[in-house]
Amino acid sequence: MSGAAEVFAGNFTQQEPIPEDAIAAAVAVMRSGRLHRYNTSGDEIGEVAALEREFAAYTGAKYALAVASGGYAMGAALRAVGVRPGDKVLTNAFTLAPVPGAIAGVGAVPVFVGVTEGLTIDLDDLAAKVDQAQVLMLSHMRGHLADMDRLMEICDAAGVTVIEDCAHTMGAAWRGRVSGRDGLVGCYSVQTYKHLNAGEGGLLVTDDDEVMARATMLSGSYMLYDKHGTVPPDGAFARVKYDMPNVSGRMDNLRAAILRPQLARLDAQCAAWTDRYRAVEQGLRGTPGLTVITRPAEEMFVGSSIQFLLLDWPDNAVGAVLARCAARGVQLKWFGGAEPEGYTSRYDSWHYAPSAPLPPSDRVLRAVVDMRLPLTFSLDDCALIARIIRAEVGAVWQAGVAQVIR
């Protein structure tokens, strides 16, 4: 076999360097000594306020708030829409730990909704459970967008408020609607492994005056909220400012300075991610035993990671694929592992959040194999990675999985 000797030498966690203009902007902030977002004079617009304006414009939202992390943005959103300790919050069974963590962080209790073979929230399961809570924390996990038209119909009919976790969908859209704009609040992360890189950080967007005023007070604005980039009318603050605790989670000017030049390039970066995704997807199509995820035509996604399914494979066979790929330099992550590892975990790993088994989802979760696609990979790298996966899945399949499954 000609491909057997090929090994991939790239690094799955190596992102691109920070662009030179962003470095220059960061250096200018450091030279000024004014790193705190409210350390501005007169009408001067600081870097954080400028970022908020630019991100609101990018998403088409009335308001944007820059905060300390994506998880912080989700927690602030939950509190700003009125979630209280003991409340139930609907959320995805297939997501990353910061999502149930944000719900638990406000003292609320997640109600897990299943996942489809398309890796989106199961809308039938959502329809069945929608009466159990007032809020849905919807995670567009790994960049997969559910049918947002039907989802909003279900939630609107039940009077359920939707908050969107867009950690993997910054720059994506459903039928032309920017991800994060169907719900009342959209939350984003600008941590190193997401679509903009500030090390840590988060953003939230909304059109709602009072939700924005509450989130702003929460983020630690003291009474300096008029220094923000996008500020709701005074009346909104008058109604909330004595009720919202100050839970500091502000962004600083240094990180905002790094982010603004990256935001200007975001669409081009997203297109580059999706080119890489398509290259791997193309190489994996038709591999026996491997299911490629179908992407709906309405979905404009950002391919910063790719998933495929090894449906109904025995655990040891999936383990063998991971080991054989790792030996050739391809690091795959498995959401089906019994123990959480790295960034993978499952709803039943979160013991603080009680859950009933979700058998159809368990079948999917046991099958999900995941891989990051940093922009430091070339299209040739992606084709090589796909050849390696194809060969190793094929080898394990032929060694006996095919017989076990049939």
Ligand X SMILES: *Cc1c(COP(=O)(O)O)cnc(C)c1O
| Binding residues vs ligand X (CB under 6 A) | 69-71, 95-96, 98-99, 139, 141, 165, 167-168, 189, 191, 202
Q: Describe the crossing of helices 209-218 and 70-80 by its angle, rounded to 10 degrees.
A: 130
The rounded distance, in Å, linking the Cα atoms of 319 and 131 is: 39
| HEC per residue, 63-77 | EEEEECCHHHHHHHH
Minimum Å gap between C-beta 372 and ligand X is 11
Laid out side by side, the sheet with 63-67 consists of: 63-67, 202-206, 185-189, 161-165, 135-139, 88-92, 109-113
CA-based torsion, 343, 344, 350, 354: positive or negative? positive
Residue type, 164: E
Rg (CA), the chain: 22
Q: Among residues 185 and 386, whose Cβ is nearest to ligand X?
A: 185
Three-state DSSP at 406 gives: coil
Q: Which two tokens stand for residue 405?
A: 């499954």
Shortest Cβ 90–ligand X spacing (Å): 15
Tell me how far, at minimum, the Cβ of 229 lies from ligand X, in Å.
20
Of residues 90 and 321, the one with the C-beta less far from ligand X = 90
Ramachandran sector of residue 144 (left: φ over 0; alpha: ψ -120 to 50; beta: rest):
beta
- Our CB check for ligand X shows the closer of 73 and 386 to be 73
Taking the least distance from each CB to ligand X, the nearer of 141 and 256 is 141
Smallest gap, in angstroms, from Cβ of residue 167 to ligand X? 3
Q: Which residue's Cβ lies closest to ligand X?
A: 70
Closest CB to ligand X among residues 370, 392: 370
Closer CB to ligand X, residue 218 or residue 391?
A: 218
- Nearest approach in angstroms of CB 397 to ligand X is 30
Nearest approach, Cβ of 217 to ligand X (angstroms)? 21
Structure tokens of 372?
Answer: 């990051």
